[in-house]
Amino acid sequence: MRLNDLLKLGTQELKNNSIENSSLDAELILSNTLKYKREKLLCNLNWKANKLQIRKFITDIKKRKNKIPVAYILGKKNFWKTSFLVNRNVLIPRPETELIVEYLLKISKFNSKNNILDIGTGSGCILISLLLERKNWRGTALDISKDAINVAKSNAKMQHVLNRITFVNSDIDNFSGYKYDLIVSNPPYINSSSIKNLSEDIKFNEPILALDGGYNGYSEIEKVIKKSAKLLKLKGKLILEIDHNQVLMTRKFLKKDNFYINSVLKDLRGLNRCIISTKF
């Protein structure tokens, strides 16, 4: 069967099942089946797939029809400049989270030295991306989920930064570390009652532990701020991802713990997404 016909078939299947980006998803799934880059697939649509490849493609299209996110089907997701391994134990890296990486690279010199803590590291995408760009930085990757720590470790190994990261499988409350220059975190910040409003892709597949921020959405944000106040060096920075409607309350929490608010960064949709503060 020609790749072009396979793509058409897959796209139609997804469209019939109300999958939004049906043709892009079919292309990504077929590229993955053939182990081609997407560009190579699109340039060779007259080539033929063998039986095994067709079978694998159909199986993966079925998964997507059942709302499994493409990143979990492929087992990987691009973030910043790298492809990260992902599975259902970790949140899929989001483009808005790249704001944290972009900001820290902008304010730090290439040969600077920093010790950084990533609270709720998940796949490790934030910390690993930073360490790849700053050879003298070291970090601690903290996560309550043992399975997430294992994914982060695999990613660190693949990116050759394993020896610069300390992995800690712990709850934030029970963690006590050294003093850090920087703390980053993309904590769960969606309020429990809103989880049901998320898309099926997210709510039935991604780890609820990484999304659910308690009854008002602030339970983990508050913990991260309180703990960071203790763990940061004087003038150390906390870079926190939040939801766009959480700026006001988060500012209050930060001020209560003696943080000065430097700025709030907007994501690609123009929504407030990231709050930068300094410990005094």
Output 124 or 188, the one with its CB closest to ligand GLN. Answer: 188
Output 10 or 188, the one with its CB closest to ligand GLN. Answer: 188
The minimum distance between CB 5 and ligand GLN, in angstroms, equals 35
Handedness of CA 235, 239, 243, 244 (dihedral sign): positive
* Binding of residue 90 to ligand GLN (CB under 6 A): no
Q: Which residues of 159-258 form beta strands (DSSP E)?
A: 165-169, 180-185, 232-241
In whole angstroms, how large is the CA radius of gyration of the chain? 20
d(CA 132, CA 117): 15
d(CA 181, CA 2): 55
Options 60-68, 144-152, 188-196, 259-267: segment touching ligand GLN (CB under 6 A)? 188-196
* Binding of residue 189 to ligand GLN (CB under 6 A): yes
* Binding of residue 195 to ligand GLN (CB under 6 A): no
Nearest to 101 by CA among 235, 255, 231, 276: 276
The minimum distance between CB 253 and ligand GLN, in angstroms, equals 16
Per CB under 6 A, contacts with ligand GLN among 125-184 are none
d(CA 126, CA 71): 17
Options 15-23, 132-140, 185-193, 245-253: segment touching ligand GLN (CB under 6 A)? 185-193
The single residue among 8, 15, 65, 94 that binds ligand GLN, judged by CB under 6 A, is 94
Those residues with Cβ within 8 angstroms of residue 106's Cβ, 6 or more apart along the chain or in another chain: none
* Binding of residue 209 to ligand GLN (CB under 6 A): no
Residues in the chain: 280
**Sites of contact with ligand GLN (CB under 6 A):** 94, 186-190, 202, 211
